[in-house]
Structure 1
Amino acid sequence: MWALARQGYLEVRARLLRAAVGDEGMSTVEYAIGTIAAAAFGAVLYGVVTGDSIVNALTKIIDKALNTTV
């Protein structure tokens, strides 16, 4: 009986190791998700940077720095 339980344990362990270590088909999905995330982040960043509030804030900072008296 113990031999049968040990054999079952070893089979389950081997399956878990193959599932944890094996990466068949995962690289393509990971690259696709990473590419989509990067494109979305770029779109959001572009929208924020080209917005009026950011341009106005940067202009004020530059004007303040150029008009500072020492």
Structure 2
Amino acid sequence: MTEHDVHPAGRTDRAADRAADRAADRAVDRAADRADEVGPPPGAGVPQVSAEPLDPEAGLATAEYAIATIAAVGFAGLLIVVLQSDTVRGLLEGIVGQALTV
């Protein structure tokens, strides 16, 4: 054994490692004991049951948003096609040109 193998408190590195392991084990045991004392929160693991019947219209708002979004995407696609046509492009350039010359 060399002088580098001795812990400052006089123990070897292996003895220090074992002591650290025991201290860590005790800390884990204490934490587990505290968790057992506290227990799970009230109602944990118990399914929530409602006495009211399910609403037959539940989820309709989400479906309406989905349909409106699809319609908006379709309208945006149509608008892009129309705005890229030569006729509409000429009209828009004329309007912008008149606005800049005033």
TM-score (normalised: structure 2): 0.38
Question: Structure 1 residue 37 and structure 2 residue 71: aligned?
Answer: yes
Structure 1 unaligned regions, length at least 5: 1-20
How big is the shift at 1:28? Answer: 2.1
Work out the CA distance in 2 between the residues paired with 1:29 and 1:66. Answer: 45
TM-score (normalizing by structure 1): 0.51
Higher relative contact order (CA 8 A, sep 6+): 1
Partner letter of residue 74 of structure 2? A
Identity across the alignment (%): 38
Q: For residue 84 of structure 2, what is the aligned residue in structure 1?
A: 50
Which protein has the bigger helix share? 1
How many correspondences in the alignment? 48
- Over the aligned positions, Cα root-mean-square deviation in angstroms equals 2.3
Match for residue 26 of structure 1 among 38, 60, 64: 60
User: Greater Rg, structure 1 or structure 2?
Assistant: 2
State the Cα deviation string for residues 15-68 of structure 1 (Å, max 9, x = none).
Answer: xxxxxx963120221111011011011111111112111111122233445567
Call closer, same or farther: CA 1:62–1:24 in 2, change over 3 Å: closer
